[in-house]
Amino acid sequence: MSALLNVQAGLLAYLRAQASLAVWLGSPARVYDQPPTGVLYPYVSFGRVSAQSIGGVDAEVTEQALNLMCVSRFDGSEEVKAMAAELRVLLDGASLEVAGLVSLRVTYVDVFRSADQRTTYALVRVRAVTEAD
C-alpha cells in the first residue's frame, strides 16, 4: 500500500506546484486528498484509488489506478473540460519525484453533471506503475 500512498503524495505535490493550473485552481492549486469544508470552486480531489500486483522478476511491480475529480460550478462544462485537458497534458508521461515510479499515463477522461445540474465533474483516471526498491 505504500506505493499507492507515495504515488498519491507525489501527484498532490506535483499538481499543486503547476503554474498552468493557477488559471482555474489558484496558487497554490486547490488539489486535495479530501476537500475542506467550505471549499472554493473549482477544485480537484482524489476519488477512488486501487492497487494490484502485476508481478515482476527481481522486484514487486504494482499497478495503481487513481481517479482525479475536477469539480466546477461554472455554468456549462467548459471549465471542467479545460481542467481535465490540462491534467492530461501535465500527467501523461510526467516524471514525478516518486521512488520506484516506472510510468504514469492518463487512461480515461469522462465529463458529466451531477443530478442537481449545478455541479459538473470531470473524472481523470491515471495509471501508475511502480517497482519496489
The CATH number that applies at residue 66 is: 3.30.2000.30
Q: Model-level pTM?
A: 0.91
> What is the number of domains present in the chain?
1
pLDDT, tens digit, 9 for 90 and up, residues 10-59:
999 999 999 999 999 998 899 999 999 999 999 999 999 998 888 766 66
SS3 132: coil
| DSSP conformational letter for 114 | -
**What's the rounded Cα separation, in Å, for the pair 118 and 34?**
20
Containing domain of residue 102, as a range? Answer: 2-131
Res. 1: pLDDT tops 60: no
Backbone conformation region of residue 2, classed left if phi is above 0, alpha if psi is from -120 to 50, else beta: alpha
Task: Judge if the upstream peptide bond of residue 36 is cis by omega within 30 degrees of 0.
Answer: no
